[in-house]
Amino acid sequence: MAGYRDWIDKERLTEILRDLVRIPSVNPGFPDGHGEAEVARYVKSFFEELGLKAEMQPVEAGRDNVIGTLPGAGDAHLLLEAHMDTVQTAGMSVDPFGAAVKDGRLYGRGACDTKASLAAMLAAVETLARRGAVPAANVHVAAVVDEEIMYRGVAKLAEHIEGGRLRYDAAIVGEPTNLNVIVAHKGVVRCHIDVHGVAAHSSTPESGVNAIEHMAELVLYLKRMAQTELPAMLHPLTGAPTLCISMIQGASLRTR
Ligand SMILES: [Zn+2]
């Protein structure tokens, strides 16, 4: 709908994004983490200032999702979802919370991932509300906590949907995708594998069982399996699964 796009005031959109970037919301799982509470308050008052309802959805102490609603004409419900937390700021070469604009780009932690998405959603709601335009569906913006570490925010939202307390007919999740529409992505399975041996003195290895050697065999087996079996499990959009062995630790706990 080209018409609606023309309604968006880019300067106002930039201002909302700047506000969001200037509020630190590093996930508290990181050493310099602030948490999402300030951004949650911003989103809540954003809706309230438009005369719209916004509800806090507690996830854990001091960490709430916020769900704001722009009522529509029909009975359908559209969910727009974006996370409020960011990764940490260590190693950044720009002021993480300065939100400086240079050559048409805004710089800061979360400017792209994913405060830009949240700003776009808020600007869309504000534009429709201020113009008195009533969308065909009820539009809900869910700003959630903890995407960068444990996904507790969106998990809480999913719990409410599963339990029937919330109902949405369609959802759009904001994430940096270079403006491509992504309709599928890979999941993840994480395994922790322990291999136990039998301790022996290093001068008589034959009297023990070397767990490190067994693990080495297991790692090679997994790698072979990944090379031979995974490529056939092709998904038309995401491609084949991949396997990554990312940490290995070992030591003999005692020697005799
Ligand atoms: Zn993200």
> Does 60 score more than 80 pLDDT?
yes
| Whether 64 and 133 share a structural domain | yes
| Whether 63 and 154 share a structural domain | yes
> Does 3 score more than 80 pLDDT?
no
**226 C-alpha vs ligand 1 centroid, how far in Å?**
28
Residue 182 lies inside a defined structural domain of this protein: no
**115 C-alpha vs ligand 1 centroid, how far in Å?**
9
pLDDT band at 251 (very low <50, low <70, confident <90, very high): confident
**114 C-alpha vs ligand 1 centroid, how far in Å?**
5
| Whether 164 and 239 share a structural domain | no
pTM, 2 dp: 0.82
Residue 104 lies inside a defined structural domain of this protein: yes
pLDDT for position 189: 92
pLDDT for position 254: 58
Residue numbers of the domain that contains 233 = 187-256
Domain containing residue 81: CATH number: 3.40.630.10
Neighbours of 169 (CB within 10 A): 12
Closest by Cα among 87, 86, 83, 183 to 142 = 83
**102 C-alpha vs ligand 1 centroid, how far in Å?**
23
Residue 179 lies inside a defined structural domain of this protein: no
H runs (alpha helix) in the chain: 2-7, 10-22, 37-49, 115-131, 152-162, 211-229
Query: Active-site positions?
Result: 85, 147
- Condensed to tens digits (0 to 9), the pLDDT of residues 63-93 reads 999 999 999 999 999 999 999 999 999 999 9
Neighbours of 193 (CB within 10 A): 10
| Whether 142 and 57 share a structural domain | yes
| Whether 159 and 195 share a structural domain | no
Total tally of structural domains belonging to the chain: 2
| Whether 147 and 43 share a structural domain | yes
List CB contacts of 80: < 8 A, sequence separation 6 or more.
Answer: 121, 124, 139, 140, 141, 142, 171, 172, 174
| Whether 153 and 203 share a structural domain | no
Alpha-carbon gap, residue 110 to 17, rounded angstroms: 10
Residue 180 lies inside a defined structural domain of this protein: no
| Whether 165 and 219 share a structural domain | no
Q: List the structure tokens of 195.
A: 């291999």
Where is the domain boundary, 173, 205, 232? Answer: 173
**175 C-alpha vs ligand 1 centroid, how far in Å?**
5
Establish whether the linkage from the previous residue to 228 is cis, with ω within 30° of 0. Answer: no
**207 C-alpha vs ligand 1 centroid, how far in Å?**
52
pLDDT for position 256: 45
Between residues 249 and 153, the one the model is more confident about? 153
Q: Which long-range contacts (CB under 8 A, 24 or more apart) does 128-132 make?
A: 128/70, 129/50, 129/51, 129/52, 129/70, 130/50, 131/7
- Condensed to tens digits (0 to 9), the pLDDT of residues 152-196 reads 999 999 999 999 999 999 999 999 999 899 999 899 999 999 999
**83 C-alpha vs ligand 1 centroid, how far in Å?**
7
List CB contacts of 40: < 8 A, sequence separation 6 or more.
Answer: 56, 64, 65, 66, 84, 143, 145
**210 C-alpha vs ligand 1 centroid, how far in Å?**
42
Residue 53 lies inside a defined structural domain of this protein: yes
| Whether 215 and 157 share a structural domain | no
**14 C-alpha vs ligand 1 centroid, how far in Å?**
19
| Whether 152 and 236 share a structural domain | no
**17 C-alpha vs ligand 1 centroid, how far in Å?**
15
pLDDT for position 47: 98
- Condensed to tens digits (0 to 9), the pLDDT of residues 111-155 reads 999 999 999 999 999 999 999 999 999 999 999 999 999 999 999
Residue 63 lies inside a defined structural domain of this protein: yes
pLDDT, mean of residues 107-113: 97
> Does 97 score more than 90 pLDDT?
yes
Residue 249 lies inside a defined structural domain of this protein: yes
| Whether 10 and 90 share a structural domain | yes
Mean pLDDT of the chain: 94
Closest by Cα among 58, 72, 37, 50 to 168 = 72
Helix 37-49 with 115-131: angle, nearest 10 deg = 10
pLDDT for position 203: 94
| Amino acid at site 22 | R
Where is the domain boundary, 146, 173, 200? Answer: 173
DSSP 248: -
Where is the domain boundary, 116, 138, 173? Answer: 173
Residue 178 lies inside a defined structural domain of this protein: no
| Whether 53 and 137 share a structural domain | yes
